[in-house]
Amino acid sequence: MNADQSLYSLLHTPDGPPAFAEPLHVGRPNQGDREALFARFTQALDRNWLSNDGPLVREFEDRVAAILGVRHCVAMCNATVALEIAIRALGLSGEVIVPAYTFVATAHALQWQEIRPVFCDIRPDTHNLDPDCVERLITPRTTAILGVHVWGRGCDVDRLAEIARRRNLTLLFDAAHAFGCTHHSQPIGGFGKAEVFSFHATKFVHSGEGGAIATNDDELAEKTRFMRNFGFAGYDNVRYLGTNGKMNELSAAMGLTSLDKMDVFSQGNRENYQQYRRVLAGLPGVSVIDYPAAEQHNCQYIVLDIDPDACPLTRDQIVWVLHAHRVLARRYFFPGVHRMEPYRTEDPRAYLSLPVTENVVQRVLVLPNGSAVSAAAIGSIGEIFRWAFAHAKELGARLPASAPPGESFAGTAS
């Protein structure tokens, strides 16, 4: 939508310009110590060893495995490839039960291998798989349950594990959000047959691009190591169907440098999370999701629940206002994977069995976080909310109540 001049004036403070000169992104990369990073780059260049299971990759794997408390970490070029390799190594086929409330790559990793993702509803309190719904979706074609630890809050691992054991299914997890988090005081990473982590640049600990399989299964770890290198098990010896999924030394260097600052980054996230709770307190219809106090969290995601019955503006109207001030808030995981292609065409009525997902995708709003977001910036975001709510009647009359998938909010930020 292109904003006219009157809307532009309405959406800005009386002084005129947006609140922020530079955009605030949800996942702007945290940066570690540059000297340490460049020193590692120099080591790799001096060794003239840039890929193929180099020493920096092995060090990265060892450190990640120690943090997760698992026997094996198999580093990959990204989490999507890591998930695809894990799925193939586990021999999955037929149908796999997966939430529709997740990043589309979770489903794509299955569909890419001609496995049908069967979309399951979520619990409204955790945004994770509802085990009761999982049980109802199991058919003779089901081979696995693929849970997702959304926002880094652990799935109901015990229930899912019990179902998987009883129904003879494989259980694995997409843990892209959950590095450095715990569930029942245990590090997420060792649940199920395998857990897959993302070290994409948007994650609080990252390698620029990267992912990893974490597992305590010795055979699975060995197999996935071969599969990430075209299936080679030695010179001229190809043991498995494989692909090129290797992490390179420069990505590992960035990952190691990020790990050096892991505690600093997570502490900064926690402080920002508490600051957001303070500045948004008391706003009608707006709540910041809780992270259980008994667990360890990376607090990477500042997730708001916008109650349409209590909030004076719709979730999407709030996004229009924030984008006008260059606060690039996002609607995760709108509109739900089941409403994206190719899944929408394959099962256009999937939404009928996903009432909680359908509700959550209309309510969730994620705000910027990370080392690029200061306490002062969060204070300004709180002021934008309060200003918008004070002008809700006029804003509500001028702004569309919703924006469809693919609609840009950029028109209000020009």
Residue environment code for 27-63, b if the CB has 16+ CB neighbours within 10 A, otherwise e: bbbbbbeeeebeebbeebeeeebebeebebbebbbeb
Q: What is the 3-state secondary structure (H, E, C) of 227-253?
A: HCECCECCCCCECCCCCECCCCHHHHH
User: Which two tokens mark 190?
Assistant: 């060792």
Question: What pLDDT, on a 0 to 100 scale, did the predictor assign at position 181?
Answer: 99
Domain 5-28+262-329+368-413: CATH superfamily, name plus number = Aspartate Aminotransferase, domain 1 (3.90.1150.10)
Q: Which residues contact 380 (CB under 8 A, 6 or more apart)?
A: 19, 20
Residues 51, 248: contact at Cβ < 8 Å? Answer: yes
DSSP secondary structure, 188-215, as one string: TTSSSSEEEEE--TTSSS--SS-EEEEE
Residues of the chain with pLDDT under 70: 1-17, 406-414
Q: Please tell me which residue in 193, 203, 223, 261 is annotated as part of the active site.
A: 203
Residue 368 structure tokens: 């910027």
How many residues are recorded in the chain?
414
User: Cis (ω within 30 of 0) for the bond into 335?
Assistant: yes
pLDDT of residue 16: 57
Whether omega before 23 lies within 30 degrees of 0, making that bond cis, reads: no
Q: What is the pLDDT at residue 10?
A: 52
Please state the domain extents for the chain: 5-28+262-329+368-413, 34-260
> Hey, how many other C-beta atoms are within 10 angstroms of the C-beta on 250?
19
For the question of residue 393 being annotated catalytic, the response is no
Q: What integer pLDDT is reported at residue 21 of this predicted model?
A: 84
Closest among 131, 169, 175 to 150, alpha carbons compared: 175
Dist CA 167 CA 170 (whole Å): 9
Tens digit of pLDDT for each residue in 48-93? 999 999 999 999 999 999 999 999 999 999 999 999 999 999 999 9
The strand pairing partners of 303, in sequence order, are 366
* Predicted pLDDT at 18: 79
Q: Give me the numbers of helices (H) and strands (E) for the chain, helices first please.
A: 15, 14
Total-model pTM: 0.94
Provide CB contacts within 8 A for 334, sequence distance 6+.
361, 362, 364, 405
We find that the CATH architecture of domain 34-260 is: 3-Layer(aba) Sandwich (3.40)
CB 145 within 8 A of CB 169: yes
Q: What is the spatial distance between Cα 81 and Cα 167, in angstroms, rounded to a whole number?
A: 28
